[in-house]
């Protein structure tokens, strides 16, 4: 039995550069893992099974965990049945990358359980086939990501920082947010300048997906304004939403139909999982 934590992420900044002919968007984003975790239990067994503590999560082939198992088997040509149990804590349709993180955690776990047939570089290269955010979760927790999100530039850890995640009960489907994006209307910014800002201690948080996300869910903009009025700093959309992250010492006051989570930046050591 192998038990591993599966972290969430925030995008400290997320710049959309252009729409690609394949329908995806070219982006440049500083991704950071946070210590809001799911937990996965893996056991080699007689037959495949996936169970989950959250009945609203599909446990069939639609779950990215199975996509990771299939990909690992296909690439390594190994055959093995595996039991997986997923303890879900990361809210879904939140822009926190929970499903992608579970897939990355599964690739790492299977590689361990099978005696490390693949290098971390191979796992990273394969993982882009599962989804755009999966590769990030095979980094050490702080990365500048480009392409669809799957091209990694690993960075040293940023100073440990506490933050709040504020999540409306309603979620946002990623593809719907991207479909509502008008790339020509975005503010021109050079993501390399944004990155240098973070690395030199002059952070500027932003997310180009806020415009379409706020259009689809107007109450998200009201929530951002409310948090800013309460004194929270840099209230920014996580990924494609619907959660926001912000900085402040006290817990956000209770907001109807919203949940808040305290979190911190988290990184893993070179040869260890989170």
Which residues sit at the interface with ligand C5P, rule CB under 6 A? 24-25, 27, 131-133, 148-149, 174-175, 178
Roughly what angle, to the nearest 10 degrees, separates helices 64-76 and 98-113? Answer: 30
67 is catalytic: no
CA dist., res. 140 & res. 266, Å (int): 9
CB of 29: closest distance to ligand C5P in angstroms? 9
User: Cα separation of 96 and 90, whole Å?
Assistant: 7
By beta-carbon proximity to ligand C5P, the closer residue of 32 and 174 is: 174
Q: Are 141 and 7 in contact (CB under 8 A)?
A: yes
Distance spanning both ends of the chain, measured CA to CA: 17
Cβ of residue 133: shortest distance to ligand C5P, in angstroms? 6
DSSP-derived 3-state class of residue 233: strand
Phi, psi of 180 (to 5 degrees): -95, 10
Nearer to ligand C5P, 133 or 210 (CB): 133
Phi/psi region, residue 36 (left: phi>0; alpha: psi -120 to 50; beta: rest), is beta
Residue nearest to ligand C5P (CB): 132
- Which one of the listed residues 15, 38, 88, 133 is annotated catalytic? 133
Q: Is 257 a catalytic residue?
A: no
To ligand C5P, the closest distance from the beta carbon of 46 in angstroms equals 32
Q: At closest approach, how far in Å is the CB of 184 from ligand C5P?
A: 15
* Contact call for residues 83 and 43 (beta carbons, < 8 A): yes
3 state DSSP class of 70 = helix
Annotated catalytic residues are: 9, 133
């Amino acid at each position: 039995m192998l038990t591993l934590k599966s972290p969430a992420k925030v995008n400290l900044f997320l710049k959309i550069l252009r729409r690609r002919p394949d329908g995806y968007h070219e982006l440049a984003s500083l991704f950071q893992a946070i210590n809001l975790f799911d937990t996965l239990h893996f056991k080699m067994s007689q037959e495949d099974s996936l169970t989950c503590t959250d009945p609203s999560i599909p446990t069939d082939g639609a779950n990215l965990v199975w996509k990771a198992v299939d990909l690992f088997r296909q690439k390594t040509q190994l055959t093995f049945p595996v039991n997986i149990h997923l303890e879900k804590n990361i809210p879904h349709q939140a822009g926190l990358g929970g499903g992608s993180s579970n897939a990355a955690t599964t690739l790492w776990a299977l590689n361990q359980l099978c005696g490390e047939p693949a290098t971390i570089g191979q796992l990273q290269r394969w993982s882009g086939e599962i989804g755009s955010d999966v590769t990030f979760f095979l980094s050490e927790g702080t990365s500048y990501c480009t392409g669809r999100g799957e091209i990694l530039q690993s960075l040293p850890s940023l100073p440990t920082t506490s933050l709040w995640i504020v999540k409306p009960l309603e979620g946002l489907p990623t593809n719907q947010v991207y479909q509502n994006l008008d790339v020509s209307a975005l503010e021109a910014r050079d993501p390399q300048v944004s990155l240098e800002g973070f690395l030199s201690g002059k952070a500027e948080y932003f997310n180009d997906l806020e415009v379409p996300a706020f259009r689809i869910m107007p109450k998200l903009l009201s929530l951002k304004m409310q948090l800013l009025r309460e004194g929270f700093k840099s209230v920014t959309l996580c990924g494609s939403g619907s959660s926001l992250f912000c900085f402040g010492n006290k817990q956000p006051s209770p907001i109807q139909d919203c949940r808040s989570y305290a979190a911190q930046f988290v990184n893993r050591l070179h040869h260890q999982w989170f």
